[in-house]
Amino acid sequence: MKRVVITGMGAVTPVGNTAGESWENIKKGVNGIDRITHFDLEDQKCVMGGEVKDFEFPDKRAAKRLDPTSQFAIAAAHEAVADSGIVSGENVEPMRFGVYGGSGIGGIQTLEGQIRKAESRQDCKHVSALMIPMTISNLIAGNIAIEFAAKGPCIGVVTACAAGTQAIGEAFRNIKDGYSDVIIAGGAEAAFAPACFAGFGTMKATSTSTDKDRCSTPFDAERDGFIMGEGAGFIVLEELEHALERGAHIYAELVGYGSTCDAYHVTMPEPDGSGAANCMQLALDEAGISSEDIDYINAHGTGTPYNDEFETKAIKMVFGEDTKVPVSSTKSMTGHLLGAAGAIEGIFCVQAINDGFIPPTINLRVPDPKCDLDYVPNEGRSQELKCVMSNSFGFGGHNGSIVIKKFAE
């Protein structure tokens, strides 16, 4: 089996338009959530969100052919690839260079817009010929592959809010098993479309608070739902010997991945937390470590009443009732980026290892007796980190966990 390392990172998030800027703001506890500006909020139950700020896709002509989801994805992938120094045909064989791109919803802004156009004009003549390629989720990976001449596996991962993590995990397995040398992996989401946004609101999944400091409140007793975010995160995964041979900078090593399904309910997690617990345990088993070796967990931590309670139960099942492992939710600052969430949170984990810093859970003011772990409330802390875990759980019962380790030859 091959060892797999991370040699590049890129991100577009509500707290920064690069991986570095995003991480610096996460460390400071910057809140990227505010009132939505994308569309008219009349009749919307939720009015807050984590919007990307001051983003402009560099190629204005190409932008007209790309849904915002793909624009975010390509921008994040460009940063990651430039960071890694990978060039198809020069230092990686194109057929051994792949892309795994995750998304929960895909090009929903384009889809909604084209449907509204057809309805308003009462015919379909004016529907764009590009509607389908701008909408379908696999084109997140496809567009990146075209951009970088990656001719190996090109896989779209659509597992709701676990998609970003599972894209990274499945790419890790592909390299580990010897099929590829380099894979760009991550997720993207741009779901701020009126009907989509309203759908989450009417199902009572999103917070109704209008206070930016009290709407995304993971693990807080007053939490009432998640806050949607948008953006993308991509990393370059590389087989260790391939990376060493070309003198690549290695940020960290990916050592374990777990994937399970609750098989319980379309939206509600399994109440006893066993599906998520099994997922975490599988990731630990593949990494060849015990729960005691984990120095920090970046939780799924959405801020919904059920998720936070059940994830707490799951962590206790794996790490012990009296565990002192630090756990935080960076969604308190970014909102929930759905299919992109796990990818940017994986990047935050890599940066946490490199900086020796655990990011906080901001907005945590009112302790919940059912959520009684160390959630690193409101202020981050300096701590040496050798091994960390990132969790992502999605509608449909999809669970994904990855284990990232400080690199040592």
Give per-residue pLDDT as tens, 130-185. Answer: 999 999 999 999 999 999 999 999 999 999 999 999 999 999 999 999 999 999 99
User: Does 312 score more than 80 pLDDT?
Assistant: yes
Q: How many structural domains compose the chain?
A: 1
CA distance 307 to 301: 7
**Which neighbouring-strand residues pair with 11?**
233
**SS3 labels along 26-45:** HHHCCCCCEECCCCCCCCCC
Mean pLDDT over each residue of the chain, to the nearest integer: 97
Amino acid at 342: G
* Whole-number pLDDT of residue 352: 98
Both structure tokens of 104: 């929960």
State the pLDDT confidence band at 344, using cuts at 50, 70 and 90: very high
Beta-bridge partner residues of 12: 232
Is 90 exceeded by the pLDDT of residue 121?
no
Identify the domain containing residue 96 by its residue range: 1-394
Residue 30: band (very low, low, confident or very high) from pLDDT cuts 50, 70, 90: very high
- 408 neighbors 244 (Cβ within 8 angstroms): no
**Residues of the chain above pLDDT 90, percent:** 97
Categorize the per-residue pLDDT at 120 as very low, low, confident or very high, splitting at 50, 70 and 90. confident
Q: What does DSSP assign to residue 186?
A: E
- pLDDT band of residue 122 (cuts 50, 70, 90) is confident
In the sheet that holds 4-12, the strands lie side by side as: 154-157, 97-102, 182-189, 231-239, 4-12, 252-261, 398-405, 387-394, 296-298, 327-328
Mean pLDDT of 3-28: 98
pLDDT of residue 409: 82
The answer to whether position 401 is within a domain reads: no
Is 408 within a domain? no
206-241 tens-digit pLDDT? 999 999 999 999 999 999 999 999 999 999 999 999
Residue 403 lies inside a defined structural domain of this protein: no
Is 404 inside any structural domain? no
- Does 405 map to a domain? no
Give the integer Cα–Cα distance in Å for 226 and 339: 14
The domain that holds 34 is classified in CATH as 3.40.47.10
Q: Could you give the count of Cα atoms lying within 13 Å of 327 in the half-sphere of its Cβ? A: 24
- Domain annotation covers residue 406: no
Tokens linked to 253: 């090593």
User: Which residues belong to the active site?
Assistant: 161, 300, 336
Whole-number pLDDT of residue 109: 97
Tokens of residue 191, six digits: 């779901």
* Residue 195 lies inside a defined structural domain of this protein: yes
* Domain-located, residue 209: yes
**355-391, pLDDT tens digit by residue?**
999 999 999 999 999 999 999 999 999 999 999 999 9
Residue 220 has which token pair?
Answer: 């807080």
Instruction: Report pLDDT for 123.
Output: 75
Model confidence at 349, pLDDT cuts 50, 70, 90, reads: very high
pLDDT digit string, tens, across residues 242-300: 999 999 999 999 999 999 999 999 999 999 999 999 999 999 999 999 999 999 999 99
